Amino acid sequence: MTRRLVLLVACTVVVVLAGRNALAQQAPKPRKPSPRAVHFIKAVRVQLMRHDWKGLLAKADPQHLKTQRKMGMGDAQYLAELFGLHSAGNSIERAGTITLGDLARIRKVAIVSMTADRQGIVTATGYVVLADRVKLKLVMTIRPLGRRYVLFGAVG
């Protein structure tokens, strides 16, 4: 009976270790974004600090923006969601609806990290500091569209 138990435990350990190794091999390693992607993200950062809403909307994926507008989303909420500034515990919203005035409270934008995947989709993370010194987490995703990059967010 003891030999069977030892054999069963040994087989279980081998299976668990094999599964861990398979998972580790499947996880893609983060890549450095291309110089063009880094330049694009830096330009977006400057536009966000300058409150250049029209310029930022022009950098959004046109089909994504069109879809969100058809669903009734306003530009202020769209921009807040593009930058991850409208989620539970991390919202720039003050009074029930996000306005461009809420976004205009942004005083500082810092990008802390950037990672790319095999398709060239880049995720940049950092933070914004608002006029009242509140610090919010910033997350933006960009993807290649033809020969340029565009800001991209979730659908829904």
- DSSP letter string, 62-124: HHHHHHHHHTT--HHHHHHHHTT-EETTEE--SSSS--HHHHTTEEEEEEEEEEE-TT--EEE
User: Can you give the pLDDT at residue 96?
Assistant: 81
Taking alpha carbons only, the member of 143, 122, 128 closest to residue 64 is 143
Q: Cβ neighbours of residue 69 under 8 Å, at least 6 residues apart?
A: 78
**CATH number for 81:** 3.10.450.50
User: Can you give the pLDDT at residue 16?
Assistant: 47
Confirm whether 11 is domain-assigned. no
User: Can you give the pLDDT at residue 31?
Assistant: 84
Confirm whether 98 is domain-assigned. yes
Write out the H or E segment, with its range, that includes residue 37.
helix 35-50
User: Can you give the pLDDT at residue 26?
Assistant: 62
Query: How many domains are there within the chain?
Result: 1
- β-bridge pairing 122-130 and 135-145: antiparallel
User: Can you give the pLDDT at residue 12?
Assistant: 53
User: Can you give the pLDDT at residue 122?
Assistant: 96
Confirm whether 23 is domain-assigned. no
Confirm whether 19 is domain-assigned. no
Confirm whether 17 is domain-assigned. no
Confirm whether 96 is domain-assigned. yes
Confirm whether 10 is domain-assigned. no
Low-confidence ranges of the chain (pLDDT < 70): 1-28, 155-156
User: Can you give the pLDDT at residue 13?
Assistant: 47
8 A C-beta contact, residue 153 and residue 64:
yes
Q: What is the pTM of this model?
A: 0.79
58 C-beta neighbours (distance < 10 Å), count: 13
Domain that includes residue 127, residue range: 30-152
